[in-house]
Amino acid sequence: MLTDIKEKSIILLVDDYIPYSTKVAAKMMHELAYELVQRGYKVTVITPSSTLKKRYSSDYIDNVEVIRFKLGSIKNCSLIKRAINESLLPFKAWFQTNRYLKNKKFDLIISYSPSIFWGWFAIKLKKIFQCPLYLILRDFFPQWVIDSGIIKEKSPIAKYFRFIEKLNYSSADVIGIQSSANIDYFKQCFGNLYNTSLLFNWVNPKIEKNNIDFKKSLGLEGKILFFYGGNIGKAQDMKNLVRLAQRLQHKPEAHFVFLGQGDEFALINKIVMRDKINNVTILPPVSQQKFKAILSEVDIGLFSLCRNHKSHNFPGKILGYMANSIPILGSVNKKNDLKKIIEEYNAGFVSINGEDDILYHNALILLENHLLRKQLGINSNRLLYAKFTVSSAIDEILNNQG
C-alpha cells in the first residue's frame, strides 16, 4: 500500500482517453486519475492516438499528465486492422515514449484491459521502475468473441490472442475483476495462477446539472424515454432491445433512444428502418459533457448483454444511470450476478436474455408507474454509493497491490 503519498507517482495505461473518446472506459479512467490527484498523487496516463502527427505528445488535463503516442486506429475500424494495430501497441508505446519516461520514477502501474495488448510494455515498465502493477480487467477477451462465434476456439487467431492474454495477466501483481461470478469463472479457467481481487466499476457520484432540452430537440416532449448509451456491438445483442421497442409500439408514450457506436450500429439502424419501428431514434456518440446532460432527461436506463457469454460483465453505462437516479431495465446472460445486485437494492428489473416476455412485462411496469420509477431511481443511486464510487475503487486498488 502507498501509505506515504509524498512524491508518490502512479502511471495509468489505457487505450482510450478523454477528451477525444466517448467510451465509458475513458471516462472511468479519468475519474480514477483525477481522484488520485486530489489525494496528492502525481499521475501520468499513457494512451495511444490515431490522429497524432509526431511520435508522442504531453499535456495536462485536470492536473493529470497525459502522454499520447502515435498508433493506427484501434477503434471503429475493421477487426483485421484493429488486430494489427493493437498488436503494435506495446512496441509503439515503448519505442515512442521510453526516452521521455526514463528520467521519471513511478511507484505503481495501473493497467486497464481491454486492451489485452499492454502486457509486454507493462513488463518493461515494471523492470525499469521496480514497482507493482494492478491490472483492471473488465472483460475476458478473446473468450467473449469465441462465445459470440466471431472466431473459433481452436483457430490460430484464437491461440494468438490467448498467448497475448496470458502475457497481459502475467504482467500483473493483482488482477481486479468486476464481479464475484467473474472471479469464479476466471479461476475455473486459470486456477490460482494469478492473484485476483474484487474491483467493481466506478463513477464520480457528483453530477452536473446542464439542461440541453434533449427531449424537446427530438420532439419527444411528454414521452417516457427508454435510453441506451454505449457500445452497439455483438457483445450487447442490441437486437434484444429492438425487439422490445417493437413490442411497445402500441404505447404512444414510450420512445427508445439508442446512442453510441460499434460494429452493429449500421445493422441495428437497418433493422429499425426495414421493419418501420417508429418508436426508436438511433444517434451517434456525443461528448461526455452532452452525454451527462442527456442522462438528466432519461426516464429508464437500458442495458443488454449477449446470452452466449460465459463471463459476467457489469456494463459501465449503468453507472451513469445510477448517478442520475434512473431506474434500470436490462437483460443479462445466465448466472450474471449483476441481476442479483440490482434486485437486492431494488434498483430496477433484470431478466435473462431470451426471456422476451419477462423483459416486455418489466418494461410495461416501469412505463405505466411513475411513482415506481421514482423509487427505483432513488434505490439505484443508493446502490451507486454502496458499491460503485471512484473513491472505493481507489481504496481497493491501493490496498491490494500484491
pTM of the model: 0.79
More confident residue, 49 or 236: 49
Identify the H or E element spanning 302.
strand 300-304
9-172: CATH number:
3.40.50.2000
Question: How far apart, in whole angstroms, are the C-alpha atoms of residue 157 and residue 171?
Answer: 22
Residue 347 has pLDDT above 80, yes or no: yes
Question: How far apart, in whole angstroms, are the C-alpha atoms of residue 361 and residue 330?
Answer: 12
Cβ distance 401 to 173 under 8 Å?
Answer: yes
Q: What is the pLDDT of residues 213-253, one digit of tens each?
A: 999 999 999 999 999 998 887 777 888 899 999 999 999 99
Residue 309 has pLDDT above 70, yes or no: no
CATH of 214-387, one of 3.30.1490.190, 3.40.50.2000, 3.90.950.10, 1.50.10.10: 3.40.50.2000
Instruction: Give 292's pLDDT tier (boundaries 50, 70, 90).
Output: confident
Residue 22 has pLDDT above 70, yes or no: yes
Q: What is the pLDDT of residues 145-173, one digit of tens each?
A: 787 778 888 889 889 999 999 999 999 99
Q: What is the pLDDT of residues 57-72, one digit of tens each?
A: 999 999 999 999 999 8
Q: What is the predicted pLDDT for the residue at 24?
A: 80
Q: What is the predicted pLDDT for the residue at 210?
A: 76
Instruction: Give 310's pLDDT tier (boundaries 50, 70, 90).
Output: low
Instruction: Give 119's pLDDT tier (boundaries 50, 70, 90).
Output: very high
Mean pLDDT across the stretch 106-131?
95
For the chain, give every residue range classified as CATH 3.40.50.2000. 9-172, 214-387
- In 257-369, alpha helices (H): 265-274, 288-295, 317-323, 338-344, 356-368
Helix (H, G, I), strand (E, B) or coil at 47: strand
Q: What is the predicted pLDDT for the residue at 311?
A: 65
Question: How far apart, in whole angstroms, are the C-alpha atoms of residue 386 and residue 380?
Answer: 10
Q: E strands, 114-235, where?
A: 133-137, 174-177, 196-198, 224-231
Question: How far apart, in whole angstroms, are the C-alpha atoms of residue 287 and residue 20?
Answer: 8
Mean pLDDT across the stretch 339-368?
94
Residue 293 has pLDDT above 80, yes or no: yes
Mean pLDDT, all residues of the chain: 90
Q: What is the predicted pLDDT for the residue at 113?
A: 93
Task: Compute how many other C-beta atoms are within 10 angstroms of the C-beta atom of residue 111.
Answer: 24
Instruction: Give 179's pLDDT tier (boundaries 50, 70, 90).
Output: confident
